[in-house]
Amino acid sequence: MQPSADSLQIGNYIGALLQWRELQSSYDAYFSVVDLHAITVAQDPAELREKTRRTAAQYIAAGIEPSLSTLYVQSHVRAHAELAWILSTITGFGEAGRMTQFKDKSSRYGADSTSVGLFTYPVLMAADILLYQTDVVPVGDDQKQHVELTRDLAERFNSRFGETFTVPMPVIQKETARIYDLQNPTSKMSKSAESDAGVLWMLDDPAKSAKKVMRAVTDNEGSVRFDRENKPGVSNLLTIYAALTGRQVAAIEDEYAGRGYGDFKKGLAEVVVNEFEPVRARALELLDDPAELDRILAENAARADAVADATLSDVYDRVGL
């Protein structure tokens, strides 16, 4: 994830962290906070450094175990930037220009506010993946095109210079719950939303989150029933409830049948508080002990560095550098 806010939001937790937590015991997993990606748009240096540490602390607090996974800050491993340069020399200009995420973002920012780094972002992402001889990349639909580019680059490099990279497979994550803004339940909850009235922050005081749940937009029907089309607000709350408790939506509907939204929201507020109280406490504890957090990140970066450096040395050799 990019370190683009002081706190992650519960969509990041449900849509990403919970899945990653599952993967870490069966895979040799690498998770990073991608600060090099973040600087493709302007960042305040001190804020960037702070957001990076906070994001890492929240990964750990949410259950990404530095002993089961390699959890590091992208810029701590220099090989990312170096491999990205080499890969950029075998990437077609037209090929990079076809990336839909770039087309979307650059048309929003305008040509003069679009950096070359934003254009080559997918090449850096390819380096992120290929450095670790990665077999599988769990991604959402929106990142599939970037993983396809990564595969093309790996195959191209291998055929030009000899077998060097594992060609990774994208694994489109099992339909993960998509969480919507509590005040605007047809748009995705996001840490970069313009207003945070409908955003549940992982690091917020639980009482504040409970209040936001109580104020969530619903409808006039008064029945707790999942209907994404006609009842987006209630459906979103049901999705959050189910994701955090591991219960089926139908069972939650049954529990609240004949009861009003007030009761339902109170129930959900309790679920949210119970889930995030310990996560928040752990994150704050890590942030209160910067030396310990830095030690964990340095140790993990060293582990990542050893693997990445072996790949990069091989690449330099083969290219003639």
Which residues here bind Na ion, judged by CB under 5 A? Answer: 24, 68
Question: Which residue(s) pair with 138 in the sheet?
Answer: 171
The residue to which tokens 């083969």 are assigned: 318
**Smallest distance, Å, CB 30 to Na ion?**
10
**Smallest distance, Å, CB 135 to ligand ADP?**
19
Q: Record the tokens describing residue 285, joined without a space.
A: 């504890």
Q: How far apart are the first and last CA of the chain?
A: 32
Chain residues binding ligand ADP by CB under 6 A are: 1-2, 4, 9, 11-12, 14-16, 140, 178-179, 188-192
Considering 51, 103, 105, 208, which one is annotated as catalytic? 105
Considering 51, 103, 144, 191, which one is annotated as catalytic? 191
Nearer Cβ to ligand ADP (192/313): 192
The answer to whether residues 130 and 311 touch, using CB atoms and an 8 Å cutoff, is yes
Residue 7 touches which member of ligand ADP, Na ion, none, C-beta under 5-8 Å by kind: none
Q: Which long-range contacts (CB under 8 A, 24 or more apart) does 82-86 make?
A: 82/312, 83/127, 83/130, 83/131, 83/308, 83/311, 83/312, 83/315, 84/120, 84/123, 84/124, 84/126, 84/127, 86/315, 86/319
From CA 320, how far away is CA 282, in angstroms rounded? 48
Nearer Cβ to ligand ADP (154/243): 243
Q: Is 103 a catalytic residue?
A: no
The answer to whether residues 176 and 19 touch, using CB atoms and an 8 Å cutoff, is yes
Residue 9 touches which member of Na ion, ligand ADP, none, C-beta under 5-8 Å by kind: ligand ADP
**Smallest distance, Å, CB 321 to ligand ADP?**
34
Nearer Cβ to Na ion (287/307): 307
Q: Is 105 a catalytic residue?
A: yes
Give residues with Cβ within 8 angstroms of 144, minimum separation 6: 170, 172
Residue 192 touches which member of Na ion, ligand ADP, none, C-beta under 5-8 Å by kind: ligand ADP
**Smallest distance, Å, CB 181 to ligand ADP?**
8
Q: Is 191 a catalytic residue?
A: yes
Residue nearest to ligand ADP (CB): 15
From CA 33, how far away is CA 20, in angstroms rounded? 14
From CA 129, how far away is CA 307, in angstroms rounded? 12
**Smallest distance, Å, CB 123 to ligand ADP?**
19
Nearer Cβ to Na ion (17/189): 17
The catalytic site residues sit at 105, 188, 191
